[in-house]
Amino acid sequence: MKKSMLLIAAFAFSASVAFAQDLTSKKGEAYLPAAGDWSIGIDATPVLNYVGGFLSSAGGVAPTWNYLNGDQAIIGKMYKSESKAYRAILRIGMSSVNQNAMVADATVTTPPTYPNLPAMVEDQMKGGSRYIGLGAGIEKRRGKTRLQGFYGADAMIMMSGSKSTYTYGNALSSTVGVGSSHDFGSNIGTDTYGNAARMTEMKSGNTIGIGVRGFVGCEYFILPKISIGAEFGWGFGFGIFGASSATMESVGTTGTIGVQTVEGSKASGLMLDTDTNGSGSSNASLRMNFHF
């Protein structure tokens, strides 16, 4: 009896050691994240496509480092403990562009004589855009093996907008029309009367959105501190879409110079739905998480 008890105890001890070793690599590296660890997530699809192509006759294309969602937000986590993590969502994007183009001076009607060059004036376009996305959340985790489940909630806010201005070297007149201006791609059009017009300013409507979502998911640690997983979310979102505007100048049929500012429509909306279509802070596609 005593011998049997010793055998049972020895078996239980060896099983517990084997279980513990399952959570560490042969080099003694822990598979699971610990308190104080940080994590960043990327889209796992390019990596999995590379592995699949490499193992097949198709061959592998080098994987790319992709954002988890279409909003190009950086998503990271900080582990407060082995079972609790704080999540952060961040994107601060701003762009600016200046374009200059030389056009013929429309006030000079006499052709130049060789070797003189025609008189030129300058048209200019200045544009800029911004996108700010901020979010925070809390994540709870459970599981005692390399397969971990998690759940929690995120809150988010985003703002975006853009503006372009145009200046022209040739002033419009009864004899100098819109055709004397450079076409930057979106600045030449028509006014509300159908006359040819050129834009002097274009603004997109400012967009503001807020959202709160709950999520649930799982991940498997394929290597120490590297996991593949996915999550699904469900939540509430509210957005306000401001009116766009376009200020243009044109020459009327009587030769009069006119300026018009045309505004687009405003909108707002509510959403209560799952976010597997890519909205919110993530989607249901596979992800890779790197912990350090």
Angle value at C-alpha 165, between 121 and 109, nearest 5 degrees: 20
- 247 pLDDT higher than 50: yes
What does the alpha-carbon distance between residue 201 and residue 184 come to, in Å, rounded to a whole number? 13
DSSP state of 45: H
Summarised one tens digit per residue, pLDDT across range 139-149 is 999 998 999 99
Q: Output the pLDDT for position 274.
A: 85
User: Across-strand partners of 110?
Assistant: none
What are the φ and ψ backbone dihedral angles of 49, each rounded to 5 degrees?
-65, -40
C-beta neighbour count of 142 within 10 angstroms: 10
Q: For residues 193 and 285, which has the higher predicted lDDT (pLDDT)?
A: 193
Summarised one tens digit per residue, pLDDT across range 38-51 is 999 887 665 555 45
Give the model's confidence band at 220: pLDDT under 50 very low, under 70 low, under 90 confident, else very high. very high
Q: Output the pLDDT for position 5.
A: 37
| Average predicted confidence (pLDDT) for the chain | 84
136: Cα separation from own chain's centroid = 16
Give the model's confidence band at 12: pLDDT under 50 very low, under 70 low, under 90 confident, else very high. very low
What does the alpha-carbon distance between residue 103 and residue 106 come to, in Å, rounded to a whole number? 9
Summarised one tens digit per residue, pLDDT across range 257-266 is 999 999 999 9
Rg (CA), the chain: 30
Give the model's confidence band at 287: pLDDT under 50 very low, under 70 low, under 90 confident, else very high. confident
The set of residues, in sequence order, having a beta carbon less than 8 Å from that of 166 and lying 6+ positions away, is: 123, 124, 125, 126, 184, 187, 198, 199, 200, 201
- State how beta strands 207-223 and 226-241 pair: antiparallel
Q: Which long-range contacts (CB under 8 A, 24 or more apart) does 263-270 make?
A: 264/205, 266/205, 266/241, 266/242, 267/240, 267/241, 268/238, 268/239, 268/240, 268/241, 269/238, 269/239, 269/241, 270/236, 270/237, 270/238
Type of residue numbered 228: I
Give this prediction's pTM.
0.73
